[in-house]
Structure formats: structure tokens, C-alpha cells
Chains A and B, each alone.
Chain A
Amino acid sequence: MVSLLDIIGPVMVGPSSSHTAGACRLGLLARNLVGGTPEKARIELHGSFARTGEGHGTDKAIAGGLMGFRPDDERLRDALEIAQGEGFDYVFEKTTLDDNAHPNTARITVERGDRHAVMTGASLGAGRILVTEINGYAVEVSGAYHTIVLIAEDVKGSIAAIATILAEHGINIANLRLTRKQRGGDAFMVIEVDDAPGEPVRDEIRALPWVRWAFRLDKVSG
């Protein structure tokens, strides 16, 4: 359903909802994967992002998002200078991903302390985004909710255990998707929640013996 406030909005730094606001949101999500501003980032731009990204400030928007600037933050304009001043080491490259990749796709590799992640995501237009891959796993994360993404062994009671942790932290589940390639194989969970889960929630989920990895992603749109 189309919302009136989607039409009269978002408030954003120009010039392009897809190449600037959406790009910023991709940076914000990638930042979450390492729990803060990365020390190092490699950003590969594909398609229209590669061709017209500089004129649209796509580079500034992604770098700004990685530093935690939101799409309406005027510091985005000077994000590259601010990054250099703060010792955030970034590099942009143009690349060609596979033919199925959306024209506005970025692959972002981030490092912070002992944490490391690779995320691929696309800006779909009107500021909407879709993360399609995290650390080699195919995902679908829109950033419209706070989201927990995890890979776990396919054990009985896994959903109940995670739901319990969330309930103990007062977090309400909005949507939950569970997929697995085969019986007994890895189960992949995308849990969209109404309340922001903190790092302790992620740590508790990660401490479950059958969880291979887990990330939390803050809501970045909607």
C-alpha cells in the first residue's frame, strides 16, 4: 500500500533518491555489520552507480552512511573530507558484477577491530534498498525494520530459543523468515523486529552453540 508520507518524503540530501539517499542507507547497513564506523572499507560500484555515481555524490553518501550519517544529514556533502580527517580508510572501485545485479548495486567490504564483513546491496529507487548478500549468503534485507540475520545449524527449538532471547530483551518480532537448503543443513533466519536490538542481543544469539554467525542491522528507512 502506498503511504502518503512515502510520496511527501523522504527528507534527504540531494540530488538523487536512488544514487544518494539509497546509497547512504546501504552504507548505514554495512556499518552495522561491524558494530560502528569501520577502520577500513572497500566499496565496489556496479552499473549506474559506477557510471554516474560521482556526479550524484554516491561515493560521499556511502562513505557518510558508513560513518553513521543519515540521508538527511548535510555532512554527507563533505563526507570524504570528514572520513580522511578521522582516519577512516576507504577505497572506491568500479566493478562489473553479474548480469542479474541491479544497475545500482554496491559491494561493500568493511573491517573494524576483529570484525570483518562483505555486503552486497542495491538501491531500487525512491530511496528504497535491498541487501542481497552478506558474507556469501543470499539474503533479503530492506532496512525498513530493525533486522537480525543469522545462520544456524538446523536444530529443533532454534526458533524458540531465539524468540526467548528477544522476548527477554522486550523486543517484538514483526516478521520471521526461515529457509534452509536441505533437511539438517544450515538454516538461514531473517528476523525483522519492531524494537532496536542492542549489541548484547547479538552477543547472546551468537553465544548459542548452534549459531554460526549473527548480525544485527538497524532500521534505516521507513
Chain B
Amino acid sequence: MYRALADAIRDAEQQGISLARLALETEAKDQGRTVDDIRAALRRALDVMRGAVERGMVGDLHSASGLVGGDAAKLRNGPPGPLAGTPFRDVLARALAVQEVNAAMGVIVAAPTAGGAGVLPAVLTGLAQARGIADDAVVDALAVAGLIGAVIAERASLSGAEGGCQAETGAAAAMAAGAATEMLGGTPAQVGHATALAMQGTLGLVCDPLGGLVELPCVFRNATGSAIALTGIELAMAGVEFKIPVDEVIDVMGEIGASMDVRYRETAGGGLAATPTGRRLARERLVQIKKR
């Protein structure tokens, strides 16, 4: 797979093909498989993503600690806010739904990780539904997301323990922004700008889960990560360009992650996990888990 998004964007432009096609053909060559075979695997991933969205919307799931669950249903059925009835609210609900399923030991696609698994399904299936986009195009978008994620994995990190939450929900937001931009008709160059615009908004984001569990704030970070992805998409589709090239934005995410204090890298030693209430909740809820 590519090590620089700039190279992929240049190749797609020169060949006059989409980034999705470029990504699928590159993966086929790398892995000695057929494009159809890879598309079938992505299709299965999409089905699992949709299943998780639907399952989470029911609102009856609770996590091991009981700290999270039931909030996706509030967005779907609860009192309207200023964005009621818009794709924005629907995307937020979907992100919470997938992460609530994850926290309750339901089946999800770790894309790029389990902790950041809500963003891609939320943004891609939410916008596909709103705009009446066919499944084949959503599968293509997953290929673009995979290309962006592979570049992030090469140049920076996709692990909260290595790079903080910017490497999980931040990376997910960047992947979703780029992928959805192509799905909605954006050019390869616009995909690059959408990816950079989303990622710049999550730089420095710490990984600070209460008790070390993939629950709080992880569930909500997937909602805010989706909102940032939507921002990147809306700006890039309008023709906004981000002046720092996307690969440099990815590089600096890696640098920030590497210099981040260990307290902010999934150890529950800092951030929200270390607040008085964070510590108290973790203590109470972890004890509760042991009692079962």
C-alpha cells in the first residue's frame, strides 16, 4: 500500500481513476488477491457495520461497568436539538450506537481500531442514507478509508497506547472524511484536503479512558470524531484547501503522539480518567464488575 497520500493522489490523477480503484488495485497486487475478493471482504465489513448501527440504536445495551449505553437511542428518539432531522444528528447517533455495541461485547469492525470503530460506519452509512448512495460506492469508500489508514499506520500510529486518541478517533475521523469526500463525488485532491482538515482538528487529543476501559470517553469521542469528519467533508467539498500537505499533518500527529506523556496514552493515569470523579467512578465500577 502507499506510504504517502500525495503519491496516491498523484497516481490517481495521472491515471484518471478514483482513489478507491487505485487502492483496490494496489491491495490486490500487494496481497496476491483479486479486486473482487477484496471488495467481498469490505462488503462483509460494511454489513457488520450496518448491523452494529442497528443493534446499538435499540438502546438496551449496557457496558461491563454500566458506565455507557442507551445514548444512541436518545439521539434517535429524544427531544430535538437545533440539528434535529439533519444527517448531522443521525451520524452522531450512529457513532454512539456502534461504540455502545462495542462496549457491550457486540460485533463490530475494528476500523481502524475497536476504540475508534464508530466513526467510519457513522459517517459513511449516515451520509449514504441521506444522499441515497448505493452500497457499491460505500464499499469503494471503505477502500479509500483503508488507504488513508494504511498511510497513517506507516507514517504515524493507529494505537492509543502509542499516540493517544488522535491516533484512534482522530485517525478514524481523517479516514472517514477522506473516504466520504470521494463517495460524495470529490476529487482525489479534495480527499486529501478533507483528510487533512479532519486530522488537524484532532491533533493532540489524549487517550484517557476511565479505568482503562474502552467506554468513557471513548463512546463520546466517536461522536465528536464524526462531527470533525463532517467538518472536513463540508469544507473540502466547498473547495476549501488546507495549506499544510496531508502527509505532513499525519507526520506531526505521529510526532505529537510520540512525545505525549504516558499518562495520556491509554494508561488511565491522566486526563478524564484522573479527574476526581473519573477515579471514583472507575473504582466503584471496577469493583462492581468483580462482584458479578
Does B188 have its Cβ within 8 Å of any Cβ on chain A? Answer: no
A5–B38 touching, CB < 8 Å? yes
A55–B212 touching, CB < 8 Å? yes
Does B83 have its Cβ within 8 Å of any Cβ on chain A? Answer: no
CB distance from A63 to the nearest CB of B (A): 13
Does A77 have its Cβ within 8 Å of any Cβ on chain B? Answer: yes
Chain A residue nearest in CB terms to B104: A14
B107–A8 touching, CB < 8 Å? no
Among B1, B23, B103, the residue within 8 A (CB) of A14 is B103
CB distance from B28 to the nearest CB of A (A): 10
Count: A-B pairs, CB below 8 Å: 143
B109–A51 touching, CB < 8 Å? no
| Of B146-154, B224-232, B236-244, the one with at least 4 CB within 8 A of chain A | B146-154
Does A151 have its Cβ within 8 Å of any Cβ on chain B? Answer: no
Does B195 have its Cβ within 8 Å of any Cβ on chain A? Answer: no
Q: Which residues of A contact B84 (CB under 8 A)?
A: none
Instruction: Known contacts A4-B38, A52-B213; decide if A10 and B110 are in contact (CB<8 Å).
Output: yes
B108–A14 touching, CB < 8 Å? yes
Q: Which residues of A contact B27 (CB under 8 A)?
A: 3-5
Complex Cα spacing A9 to B110, Å:
5
| Of A15-23, A29-37, A196-204, A212-220, the one with at least 4 CB within 8 A of chain B | A15-23
Among B23, B108, B115, B211, the residue within 8 A (CB) of A4 is B23
Does A72 have its Cβ within 8 Å of any Cβ on chain B? Answer: yes
B290–A54 touching, CB < 8 Å? yes
Instruction: Known contacts A11-B48, A55-B65; decide if A17 and B113 are in contact (CB<8 Å).
Output: yes
Q: Which residues of A contact B159 (CB under 8 A)?
A: 125-126
Among B23, B114, B142, B211, the residue within 8 A (CB) of A55 is B211
Instruction: Known contacts A4-B27, A5-B41; decide if A14 and B106 are in contact (CB<8 Å).
Output: yes
Interface centre among A56, A57, A77 (most CB of B within 10 A): A56
A52–B211 touching, CB < 8 Å? yes
Complex Cα spacing A77 to B105, Å:
6
Given A4-B146, A14-B106, A74-B107, list of 8 further CB < 8 A pairs?
Answer: A4-B143, A4-B147, A5-B27, A5-B38, A5-B146, A7-B158, A8-B112, A9-B111
List 14 interface pairs A-B (beta carbons < 8 Å), by A numbering: A1-B1, A4-B1, A9-B109, A9-B110, A10-B109, A11-B44, A12-B108, A13-B107, A14-B108, A14-B114, A20-B114, A21-B110, A60-B105, A72-B107
Task: Rank and list the top 7 A-B pairs by shortest CB-CB distance, nearest first.
Answer: A14-B102, A4-B146, A7-B149, A52-B212, A15-B214, A2-B150, A55-B213
